Amino acid sequence: MSENRTELESLGEFGLIDHLTKQFENRNSSTLVGIGDDAAVVSISETEAQLISTDMLIEGVHFNLMYMPLKHLGYKAVAVNVSDICAMNAVAEQITVSIAVSNRFPIEALEELYEGINTACKVYNVDLIGGDTSTSMSGMTISITAIGRSKKTNISYRSGAKENDILIATGDLGAAYMGLQVLEREKEVYNANPAIQPDLDGHDYVIERQLKPEARVDVIRFLKELDVVPTAMIDISDGLASEIMHICKSSEVGCHIYDEKIPIDAKTSMTAIDFNLDPVTCALNGGEDYELLFTIKQEDFDKIKGNPHMTPIGHITHKNDGMYYIDKSGSAIELQAQGWNHF
């Protein structure tokens, strides 16, 4: 370690990953893609590859046990990892689970966590094949690795989007962020006066999207049935704007997305307005929806047109045209990623 001290926040999450890993080279020809996509891609035969992805959840950073039941936490920890395998147009088959827990937690609490993990294993048809267990000085940390498999020719990378491809978002966006706002608001009310009961009425949908997100394995199945291989794909964990920018940067292209096309559930809009927030801003910059964002060739558009799970939100342009969001008045606004920055 040098004597200089550089603060973590000077680089941000992606800058830090890049800074730490740039001197690494891949030494094995089986490593098809390493750092930089939703999952690493490792060749296992002439035609097949394995997809591997890890995500860590930390108490106080990614979850708050005051409003996150442990069962839901276990489920969510699996779902977000399965989502990263979906983002490669593949399905997960195995997971490993590593936990570090302080003695604040009784065995019953960990049983509840594992009940949620088990439910997710059943729903997503994945096998728990290992992990690691340790004590921690404070709080709980869960790290999950998901492993999937796919034909090499079916894998969608962040880097494959081409000019004129259509940008598609699945489901609806911004709900998980609004769920978090409701839960945080009620936490503040409770902290100020524990006698007041939380008022979660009318917010069931957004709260469920925050506490129990689903990986879109159903969309991966639809795409297979429809015989569509997305030219590029990513999962929406950090907000639509940030994910579109990842695809555009990796693919060296630009984009236009249209305000009025962004899918937002009416219940999300109502909650956003209640909080004096613009629903579209929540969809663009709120995190944790775990929907998929992908690009398809124009000629594949007829196959997905009208599908209630998939909404066209814009198209890919030349890199020199930049990355723009077109608002309701037709003005083009340059996209800015806010996303989550934990540092």
- Stretch in the footprint of ligand ADP (CB under 6 A) among 34-42, 92-100, 197-205, 307-315: 34-42
Which one of ligand ADP, Mg ion, none interacts with residue 129, CB within 5 to 8 A by kind? none
Q: Which amino acid is it at 295?
A: T
* Min dist. Cβ of residue 55 to Mg ion (A): 8
Number of residues that bind ligand ADP (CB under 6 A): 9
For residue 322, give the 3-state DSSP assignment: coil
Which one of ligand ADP, Mg ion, none interacts with residue 21, CB within 5 to 8 A by kind? ligand ADP
- What CA–CA distance (Å, rounded) separates 241 from 219? 21
Beta bridge partners of 65: none
CA distances from 326 to 176, 255, 314 (A): 24, 10, 9
Residues 6 or more apart from 132 whose CB is under 8 A from it? 96, 98, 99
| Residue 215 vs 296, nearer CB to Mg ion | 215
Which one of Mg ion, ligand ADP, none interacts with residue 36, CB within 5 to 8 A by kind? ligand ADP
- What CA–CA distance (Å, rounded) separates 252 from 159? 8
Q: Which of residues 209-248 bind Mg ion (CB under 5 A)?
A: 235
Applying CB under 6 A, among 49, 50, 55, 169 the residue interacting with ligand ADP is 55
17 sits near ligand ADP (criterion: CB under 6 A): yes
| Residue 53 vs 271, nearer CB to Mg ion | 53
Q: How many helices (H) and strands (E) does the chain have?
A: 10, 13
* Min dist. Cβ of residue 193 to ligand ADP (A): 38
Of 61, 30, 34, which Cα lies nearest the Cα of 143?
61
* Min dist. Cβ of residue 112 to Mg ion (A): 27
| Residue 230 vs 279, nearer CB to ligand ADP | 230
For Mg ion, the nearest residue by Cβ is 38
8 Å CB contact between 96 and 136? no
| Residue 146 vs 316, nearer CB to ligand ADP | 146
- Stretch in the footprint of ligand ADP (CB under 6 A) among 32-40, 113-121, 125-133, 171-179: 32-40
- What CA–CA distance (Å, rounded) separates 204 from 195? 22
Neighbours of 214 (CB within 10 A): 19
| Residue 55 vs 112, nearer CB to ligand ADP | 55
For residue 55, give the 3-state DSSP assignment: strand
| Residue 142 vs 277, nearer CB to ligand ADP | 142
- What CA–CA distance (Å, rounded) separates 8 from 12? 7
- 89 conformational bin, left if phi > 0, alpha if psi -120 to 50, beta if neither: left
Which one of Mg ion, ligand ADP, none interacts with residue 131, CB within 5 to 8 A by kind? none
CA distances from 239 to 87, 169, 171, 300 (A): 15, 12, 13, 26
Q: Where are the beta strands (DSSP E) in 103-208?
A: 127-135, 140-151, 166-170
* Min dist. Cβ of residue 262 to ligand ADP (A): 20
Applying CB under 6 A, among 84, 112, 291, 300 the residue interacting with ligand ADP is 84
| Residue 136 vs 250, nearer CB to ligand ADP | 250
Q: Which of residues 223-242 bind ligand ADP (CB under 6 A)?
A: 237
* Min dist. Cβ of residue 342 to Mg ion (A): 15
Site residues (CB under 5 A) for Mg ion?
A: 38, 84, 235
Site residues (CB under 6 A) for ligand ADP?
A: 17, 21, 35-38, 55, 84, 237
